[in-house]
Amino acid sequence: MLIEAHEISRVYGVESASVAALRPTTLSIAAGEFVAILGPSGSGKSTLMNIIGLLDRPSTGTFHLNGRNCAGLTDDQAAELRNKLIGFVFQSYHLLPRQSVLQNVELPLIYAGVRRAERRERAVKALAAVRMSHRVDHLPSQLSGGEQQRAAIARSIVTSPSLILADEPTGALDSATGWEIMRLLIALNRTGRTIVLVTHDSKIAQLASRIVTLRDGDVVSDEMVVSLQPDATAQNQRQRDEAA
Ligand SMILES: Nc1ncnc2c1ncn2[C@@H]1O[C@H](COP(=O)(O)OP(=O)(O)OP(=O)(O)O)[C@@H](O)[C@H]1O
Ligand SMILES: [Mg+2]
């Protein structure tokens, strides 16, 4: 299993002011899956995502990523594992405003200690993969929202991570542009990358192959869209094909 969470929970704050953002949750995600985490605002989606992405630690329970128990990791070790294994995509892109698109995409490779020429080459390739070759020298502010998200996706894949975590990647985009971003994620999943996508939009979630639904910090359903629902399979496949 790529991701194995056993009875993980997350409580923010203390005593009377505490919030149970995530109640004890057991969840496994295998390599190659495309999982949507679906739920309304405040249901704990980002809380779960942050634990999966080693940006936060559970209050209780155990979490294994790629076979490794993450409880004992120092912050530096967590950062190193994160850089090696995970690409992040956020609703608000998180591009550095004074750096060009190319420089933004190269950034994770600087942290990874990749030398300059190879950095350039890999960033150019990642940008080509998201059809952004014509915008490499632009600043983020000179791009549309969809283009900024494509640049952010290029940045997330430039280290060749096996896992991509996307928290509401279509949340700031109009629906046509949102579908375009979903097409890119589906294509990345077809090249073998595991995708975990957070969304509050059930139409977007339907494009995944599995939907984990959260409500008030609890997993209220966990369904394989493709393999367990024969009737839904054809429709889901059609939607995915149309989108791709
Ligand atoms: N740092 C924090 N301190 C205190 N409470 C928090 C913190 N982060 C989240 N919460 C609370 O935990 C609950 C779950 O938050 P979370 O951000 O995981 O929800 P979400 O499903 O991602 O919502 P949204 O769709 O609005 O992003 C909410 O009630 C929220 O107020
Ligand atoms: Mg959130």
Edge-to-edge strands, sheet with 34-38: 86-90, 163-167, 194-199, 34-38, 210-215, 218-224
What CATH class is the domain 34-54+85-243?
alpha beta
Q: Name the closest-CA residue to atom 3, ligand 1.
A: 12
pLDDT at residue 75 in the model: 96
- Could you write out the three-class secondary structure of 28-73? EECCCCEEEEECCCCCCHHHHHHHHCCCCCCCEEEEEECCEEHHHC
Q: Which of 9, 14, 19 to mutate to test the pocket of ligand 1 (most atoms within 8 A of CB)?
A: 19
41 touches ligand 1 (CB under 6 Å): yes
- The beta-strand segments (E) located in the chain are 3-12, 19-29, 34-38, 60-65, 68-69, 86-90, 163-167, 194-199, 210-215, 218-224
Cβ–ligand 1 distance for 19 under 6 Å, the answer yes
The pLDDT value given to residue 233: 53
Q: How remote is the CA of residue 51 from the centroid of ligand 2, in Å?
A: 13
Q: Is 92 in the pocket of ligand 1 (CB under 6 A)?
A: no
Q: Going by CA atoms, what residue is nearest to atom 10 of ligand 1?
A: 21
Structure-token pair, residue 49: 């995502």
The pLDDT value given to residue 184 = 96
The segments of the chain whose pLDDT lies below 70 read 226-237, 244
pLDDT value for 242: 74
Instruction: Give the residue carrying structure tokens 């983020």.
Output: 140
Instruction: Report pTM.
Output: 0.92
Locate 55 and state its tokens: 């940006």
21 lines ligand 1 (CB under 6 A): yes
Provide the pLDDT for residue 227: 46
